[in-house]
Amino acid sequence: MVNTFFVFCACIDQASIGVVEKWGRFLSLAGPGLHFFNPFAGECLAGVLSTRVSSLDVRVETKTKDNVFVQLVCSIQYRVVKENADDAFYELQNPQEQIQAYVFDVVRAHVPRMTLDELFEQKGDVAKAVLEELEKVMGGYGYNIEQILMVDIIPDASVRRAMNEINAAQRLQLASVYKGEAEKVLMVKKAEAEAEAKYLSGVGIAKQRQAITEGLRDNILNFSNTVSGTSAKEVMDLIMVTQYFDTIKELGNSSKNTTVFIPHGPGHVRDVTDQIRNGVMEASSNLVGN
């Protein structure tokens, strides 16, 4: 930027540099501040260049090695070198077009040698190649390339949809594997729990039957020793009949509205007694055998 007050003076803003000519030929560079010129000697301010960092976005369309058309968006950050501002002023008429042309050339030379996946993985290598080429060329014109960023890689819309579908299918497959493994572990743990529960239930029933058998045996022995003239069979019949009536009493006092028909009579009581006695004797014989 420049502010001209009179024909013979001008004020150059900060982050700018002026080009001074004399009779149409380059004379010197003018830094920021107020400068005086002698128009009678042919001195004048030919132009002003900004030394700020400029950014240029270049969109390049090319094809990858696996025949996928993609668009690459490159952001080039460059600036004028103060010491070589005269080269930047006189050598290039449109530096943006020059930079864009070299970006097209380098990108279209490198990308066709890569697949689409390699391009996404190695986009930094493409940016580095563009940077090296631009530094070599633009440095001779008074420009310095600060940085090049490969900001975006845009495949064709159909390719993007296919890539998303492939990714979704892979994730669904992985989820199915994890779900199957989880169900397998759940079934195994459930089977182990059921087996453990059945084992513990069997142990509990065996101990219960053993406790009942030992209790009945102790009761028979105590009753036979206390009451003289009674046999073990008579004591067993008395205990079985007592338990039989206790069971009928509990069924009658139950709060559930359930009707139970039980054949009742002296003959039936004897049958129940014989069945219980035979069961206890079989259990006792098994304990003795063990």
> How many whole angstroms separate alpha carbon 184 and alpha carbon 186?
5
Contact indicator for 153, 114 with CB cutoff of 8 Å: no
* Sheet strands side by side (includes 2-6): 2-6, 9-12, 33-36
Q: What is the domain partition of the chain in residue ranges?
A: 9-50, 54-155, 190-281
> How many whole angstroms separate alpha carbon 44 and alpha carbon 2?
13
Q: What sign results for the dihedral spanned by CA atoms 22, 24, 28, 30? A: positive
> How many whole angstroms separate alpha carbon 29 and alpha carbon 82?
9
**Phi, psi for 16 (deg, rounded to 5):** -140, 160
Buried-state track 77-99, b at ≥16 Cβ within 10 A, e below 16: ebbbbbebbbbbbeebeebeebb
Q: pLDDT tens track of the chain, all 290 residues?
A: 555 444 578 888 888 999 998 888 888 899 888 888 888 888 888 889 988 999 999 998 888 888 888 888 999 999 999 888 888 888 888 888 888 888 888 888 888 898 888 888 888 888 888 888 888 888 888 899 888 888 888 887 777 777 777 777 777 788 888 888 888 888 888 888 888 888 888 888 777 767 766 776 676 667 666 666 666 666 666 666 666 666 667 766 665 656 655 555 555 556 666 666 665 566 556 555 55
Contact indicator for 1, 12 with CB cutoff of 8 Å: yes
CATH fourth-level superfamily of 54-155? Band 7 domain (3.30.479.30)
